[in-house]
Amino acid sequence: MKKRILFVCHGNICRSPMAEFILKALVKARGLSDDYYIESAAVSTEEIGNGIYPPAKRCLSQHGVWFDPGKTARQVTRADYDRFDRIIVMDASNLRWIRRIIPEDPEGKIHMMMSYTGVGRDVADPWYTGDFEETFQDLLEACEAML
pLDDT recorded at residue 95: 98
Quick one: what percent of the chain has pLDDT higher than 90? Answer: 99
Closest CA to 19 of 95, 76, 102, 89: 89
Are 75 and 49 in contact, with CB atoms under 8 Å apart?
A: no
pLDDT recorded at residue 68: 98
- Cα–Cα distances in Å, from 27 out to 42, 89, 98, 145? 23, 20, 26, 12
- Look up residue 146 and give its amino acid: M
Active-site residue identified among 15, 91, 138, 143: 15
36-42 and 86-89: which strand pairing? unpaired
Across residues 15-30, what is the average pLDDT? 98
Q: What is the pLDDT of residues 87-134, one digit of tens each?
A: 999 999 999 999 999 999 999 999 999 999 999 899 999 999 999 999
Q: How high does pLDDT run on average in the chain? A: 97
Query: Quick check: is 74 catalytic?
Result: no
Across residues 50-67, what is the average pLDDT? 98
Query: Quick check: is 15 catalytic?
Result: yes
Phi (first) and psi of residue 53, to 5 degrees: -60, 130
Active-site residue identified among 59, 125, 138, 143: 125
Q: What is the pLDDT of residues 129-141, one digit of tens each?
A: 999 999 999 999 9
SS3 content of the chain, % helix, strand, coil (to 5): 45, 15, 40
Strand partners, 86: 5
Return d(Cα 147, Cα 114) in angstroms, integer: 13
Query: Quick check: is 122 catalytic?
Result: no
pLDDT recorded at residue 120: 84
Active-site residue identified among 9, 14, 59, 143: 9
